[in-house]
Amino acid sequence: MIIKPRVRGFVCLTAHPTGCAAHVQEQIDYVKARGAIANGPGNVLVIGASTGYGLASRITASFGSGARTMGVFFERPPEEKKCATAGWYNSAAFHRAAGAEGLYARSFNGDAFSDEMKAQVVEAIKADLGQVDLVVYSLAAPRREHPRTGKIHRSVLKPIGQDYTSRTLDTDQGIVSEVTIEPATEQEITDTVAVMGGEDWSFWMEALAEGGVLAPGTTALAYDYIGPEATWAVYTNGTMGRAKIDLRNAARKIDALLKANGDGGAYVSVNKALVTQASSAIPVVPLYISILYHVMKEKGNHEGTIEQIQRLFSTHLYNNNEPQLDDKGLIRIDDWEMEPDIQDRVREIWPQVTSGNLREITDFNNYQEEFLKLFGFGLSGVDYDQEVDAMVGLDD
Ligand code: NAD
C-alpha cells in the first residue's frame, strides 16, 4: 500500500512503517552518539512506551545502558487495507533494533489502566526478568475505565473557575485566532484527575511491589509539565494541572513504598513542551511551542524528546549523579525552556504573531514537520511513493 499523511485537526489518521522506523533509528543513533550512561538501569518497565517521552525513555534505557525493557502501550495493529498507529510501528522498529543488538524487549499492547494488564506484566517480569529496577510511567490518555468501579472517566483540557480567552493556533491550517474555553465543571476536574493523576501510577507500583518484582533500590519516574504563565490558565492552573498535583502526591506515597523496599525513590520530572501526539491536542500550547522552538534554536539550546530524556538519565538519574530537585521536590529538565531570557523573548514575540507572519517569526514550519514525523512522514531517505507493507508485526 502507498501511505500518505491524512491529517484531521490535531491528529494524523495514517502512519508510515518505514518512516516510523527511521524516526526511531534517529533517536537510537542520538543516544548511541552520546555514549554509554554509566550505572544505568538494568531491567526497565515503561508504561506508555510507544511514542513521545515514554518511547524516548525506552530507547535511552536500552541503547544508553543496555537495559532489558518491557513496554506497555495502547496502539492499533495493522489490518487488511488499514495501517497501524505510529506507536505500533515505532515499537516494532524498536524491537527489531533491540533484537539486532541482543537487547531483550517485550511489549504488551492493551489497556494499562486495567488490573488484567498489571497482572500480566507482573507475571512476565517474574518469568523473564525476575525484577525491574526502573519503572517509567508516561501515559497520556483521553479516557480511563476505572478497574475497581468500572466507571469511564474522560479527561478534558479546560481552565478552572472562569472562562479563558487566548490566542491559539490551528496547526493544520496555520491560522492564529482567539479561543475562549469554558471552565471545567467539578465532575470534569474529578474525571481528568482520575485519568491523568497519580492513582493508576500508584496501582501499578502496588501491583509490582505485591508481585515481588521490584528490585531493592528501584526508581519510579513520571512526567509532568509546568510551562510559562501564558499557558497556565489552560494547563497548570486548569484541569491537567490538578491531575499533575495528584501525580506529585502519588510520588510521595510511592517514594515511601520504595524506601521500605531498599534505597529506591519516586521522582517526577518536569519536562519541556514538545510536539507529541498528546501536546498537539492542548489549546494554546502549539502556538507557544512554535515560538519556543524558534527562540531556543536562536539561543542554540533546543532539545527534542530524546535529548531531554538522555539528559535526564545522564545528569540526574544515572552516570553517578543524584537527582537535583527544586523546592517542590521536582526534577526540572525543563530548566532550559524556563530560562528567563528564553521566556522574555517568548513573551515579546507572542503578541506579534499573526497568521501572516507565523512562518517567519515562529518555528511553525518545523512544528508541522515534527508533527508529521511523529507519524513517520517527512523522514529523509524514505520514499513515500513506494508501496510499503503495512502488515508489520511487533516481532517481525
Ligand atoms: P504521547 O501521546 O506521545 O504518549 C502516550 C503513551 O501512552 C503512548 O505510548 C500510548 O500508547 C500510551 N497510552 C495511552 N492510553 C493508554 C492506555 N489506556 N493503556 C496503555 N497505554 C496507553 O504522550 P507524551 O506527550 O509523551 O506524554 C507522556 C507524559 O509526558 C505525560 O504525562 C505528559 O503529561 C508528560 N509531558 C508531556 C510534555 C509534552 O510537551 N508532550 C511535556 C511535559 C510532560
pLDDT of residue 10: 86
Q: Is 94 in the pocket of ligand 1 (CB under 6 A)?
A: no
State pLDDT tens for residues 153-174.
999 999 999 999 988 898 888 9
What's the rounded mean pLDDT across residues 342-369?
A: 95
Please determine, for residue 282, whether its predicted confidence score (pLDDT) is greater than 90: no
pLDDT of residue 172: 86
pLDDT range class, residue 284, cuts 50, 70, 90 = confident
* Rounded Cα–Cα distance for residues 266 and 334 (Å): 18
Please determine, for residue 215, whether its predicted confidence score (pLDDT) is greater than 90: yes
CA 50 to ligand 1 center in whole angstroms: 9
* Rounded Cα–Cα distance for residues 181 and 373 (Å): 29
Nearest to 207 by CA among 143, 249, 247, 254: 254
Atom of ligand 1 nearest to the CA of 71: 9
Atom of ligand 1 nearest to the CA of 50: 9
Q: Which is it for the CA torsion 247, 250, 254, 256, positive or negative? A: positive
Atom of ligand 1 nearest to the CA of 51: 3
Active site residues: 235
pLDDT of residue 97: 98
Residue located nearest, by CA, to atom 28 of ligand 1: 138
What's the rounded mean pLDDT across residues 21-40?
A: 98
pLDDT of residue 396: 84
pLDDT range class, residue 283, cuts 50, 70, 90 = confident
* Rounded Cα–Cα distance for residues 280 and 158 (Å): 15
Share the mean pLDDT of the chain. 96
Nearest to 349 by CA among 297, 305, 271, 283: 297
* CB-CB neighbours of 199 under 10 Å: 21
**Where do the domains of the chain lie, and which CATH numbers do they carry?**
7-147+193-277+303-335 (3.40.50.720)
pLDDT of residue 305: 97
Q: Is 53 in the pocket of ligand 1 (CB under 6 A)?
A: yes
CA 54 to ligand 1 center in whole angstroms: 7
Please determine, for residue 102, whether its predicted confidence score (pLDDT) is greater than 90: yes
Residue located nearest, by CA, to atom 5 of ligand 1: 140
Atom of ligand 1 nearest to the CA of 49: 9
pLDDT of residue 29: 98
Q: Is 170 in the pocket of ligand 1 (CB under 6 A)?
A: no
State pLDDT tens for residues 103-143.
999 999 999 999 999 999 999 999 999 999 999 999 999 99
CA 321 to ligand 1 center in whole angstroms: 26
Q: Which residue has the cell 510507544?
A: 50
CA 181 to ligand 1 center in whole angstroms: 23
State pLDDT tens for residues 364-386.
999 999 999 999 999 999 999 99
CA 151 to ligand 1 center in whole angstroms: 21
Distances (CA, A) of 107 to 94, 96, 100, 131, 394: 10, 12, 16, 16, 8
Residue located nearest, by CA, to atom 21 of ligand 1: 73
pLDDT range class, residue 388, cuts 50, 70, 90 = very high
pLDDT range class, residue 324, cuts 50, 70, 90 = very high
What's the rounded mean pLDDT across residues 146-159?
A: 96
Helix (H, G, I), strand (E, B) or coil at 247: helix
State pLDDT tens for residues 1-27.
999 999 988 899 999 999 999 999 999
* Rounded Cα–Cα distance for residues 117 and 120 (Å): 5
Q: What percent of the chain has pLDDT over 70?
A: 100
